[in-house]
Chain A
């Protein structure tokens, strides 16, 4: 590359480089590989359930009235949360404990680009694990029940799944990588992230008991899926989307400010 060609790379190039490296490193860890395998379970199980259900409906002539797509996403979110915890909690704490943040600072990497790269390393696989099997199930459903499921309905379902997966993936990224930026020890980050996933809901439930809105990313995901795909309350869906977005934004801000402070000589 001649000096004239040496321009600052695009932000997207750098974000992708960070994401690619982190996913590569994560895949070398046994725990993450196991979690990836576990998250492949629900799509298989729900695919089989779908086929069996259709065969049963055809044999009995009855409508069983049970849609596997919503249930799949709700079940799938559990291994995906565990995977996000495994992927996200060491990402920034490791860089902080190894004193390498300055290595990013002296290259064309701003704190925002760094934060986006690290968060995408969690959001991308998370979204893929929610969306790809979801799309496959929708396609299977359409293929097996062409007389009852219209193409428009399937496309709408995929769109809704994409929206839900997007909010869930970035919220999980914020709720796992954010705590990672708050401490130099991955174990503390894991503990903090666990707390973020379940404590807010526990507190809200204790205070308001019945009918409380979700305050943690795990319950907010369930509510959002219910609102989008299960005919749940629209208001709950909006609140859940806002809660998930808040986790994503808060996580990005924590990473940005923490890292900016330590990206100096």
Chain B
């Protein structure tokens, strides 16, 4: 299946320096995390997807539309929450949201109706009538999200949506984004906070130095369904690990009282329990040993990632 974002050999230069280098990806996930360190090319890629920046070579398609030729259509069908930009100045929150809707093609009356609906959904109360320059960071982020949602876009592009928020504000915003994803909208979230990506995304595009370091599902990045198992108990140690290895299971780590082995399928578990019975070991805990997304991303960056 082709993705809603297709990138083929995209090379983009800024100031003579390559910022995107041979980017290839087909992103079909409902929520895609665009992850990478500062300067990895995340914002540049978003600019290229919207036709704001022109790729020197390569081919970009968003929603099946060629970029930059049909960039205006993509921009009309996308809601963008930009990290570096603020809120349209000179008025209240509701004014800014109404204006954003009008720029995307809504009439003033329709935009006003939808602006209130979006602000209601984002739990913005009477503050919407206050001048935006007095808004807190959380309120600014909500207002920016309302500006990106007012025209009911098919896709949402969120650039660092949780930056500057306190933990409760971050959780609340991530829940809102999850709700939007579950409503059927396609979302691209650019973030360097891996927890945010792990919470919301089902697919990941990891950029490193302007090139793709990983592109695929989060499940695969985390080691797949056939991940690792950790067992804790009496009699589990290097000797038991040797018996496990002899039976054909791959032992990842073995310490006295704790053992980590590859595979979580029925056959592997049956073999494990048979050996436990034979060895007379006492298992107090057996569970999946998934790495965190952070571990997986670090592994990819260090070149140690093995897809499950």
- Decide yes or no whether A54 CB sits under 8 A from chain B: no
Contacts of A7 in B (CB 8 A): 73, 76, 105
Contacts A3-B77, A6-B77, A8-B75 given; does A103 touch B104 at CB 8 Å:
no
Q: A7-B73, A265-B53 are in contact. Are A95 and B84 (CB under 8 A)?
A: no
Scoring B50, B89, B90 by chain A CB atoms within 10 A of each residue's CB, the highest score goes to: B90
In whole angstroms, how far apart are the Cα atoms of A28 and B53 in the complex? 36
Q: How near does chain A come to B66, taking the closest CB pair, in angstroms? A: 14
Looking at the assembled complex, report how far the CB atom of A100 sits from the nearest CB atom of chain B, in whole angstroms.
Answer: 5
Q: Is A25 an interface residue, CB under 8 A from the partner?
A: yes
For B63-87 the 0/1 string (1 means CB < 8 A from A) is: 0000000001101111010101111
Distance from A123 Cβ to chain B, minimum over Cβ atoms (Å): 19
B52 touches A99 (CB 8 A): no
How far apart sit A108 and B88, CA to CA, in the bound complex (Å)? 15
Cβ of A56 < 8 Å from any Cβ of B?
no
**A109 close to B52 (CB less than 8 A):** no
Name A117's closest neighbour in chain B (CB-CB): B103
Q: Which of B82, B90, B105 contacts A106 (CB 8 A)?
A: B82
Tell me the minimal C-beta distance from A76 to chain B in angstroms: 28
Of B52, B72, B89, which one neighbours A95 at CB under 8 angstroms?
B89
Within 8 A of B (CB), among A110-153: 110
CA distance A21 to B47 in the complex (A): 26
- How far is A14 from B99 in the complex, measured between Cα atoms in Å? 10
B-chain residues with CB within 8 Å of residue A101 when the two chains form the complex: 85
A65 within 8 A of B: no
Shortest C-beta distance, A77 to chain B (Å), equals 27
**Given A8-B73, A103-B82, A265-B44: A109 and B103 within 8 A (CB)?**
yes
Q: Max chain B CB contacts within 10 Å: which of A1, A109, A265?
A: A265
Interface size range of chain B in the complex: 35 or more
Q: Is B293 an interface residue (CB 8 A)?
A: no
**Given A1-B151, A106-B50, A265 and B82 touching (CB < 8 A)?**
yes
Which residues of B sit under 8 angstroms from A17, Cβ to Cβ? 99, 102-103, 108
Q: How many residues of A contact B (CB 8 A)?
A: 32
B16 smallest CB distance to A (angstroms): 15
Given contacts A6-B154, A100-B87, A265-B47, contact A108 B105 (CB under 8 A): yes
Q: Across the interface, do B82 and A20 meet the contact criterion of CB distance under 8 Å?
A: no
Query: How far is A24 from B80 in the complex, measured between Cα atoms in Å?
Result: 25
Evaluate contact between B75 and A99: CB separation under 8 angstroms. no
Nearest residue, chain B, Cβ from A9: B105
Complex Cα distance, B151 from A71, in Å, reads 49
In the complex, besides A100-B87, A106-B50, A263-B52, 11 extra interface pairs with C-beta distance below 8 angstroms are A21-B88, A21-B91, A21-B102, A102-B82, A105-B52, A106-B52, A107-B104, A108-B73, A110-B72, A265-B47, A265-B53
User: Chain A interface (Cβ within 8 Å of chain B)?
Assistant: 1, 3, 6-9, 13-14, 17-18, 20-21, 24-25, 94-95, 98-110, 263-265
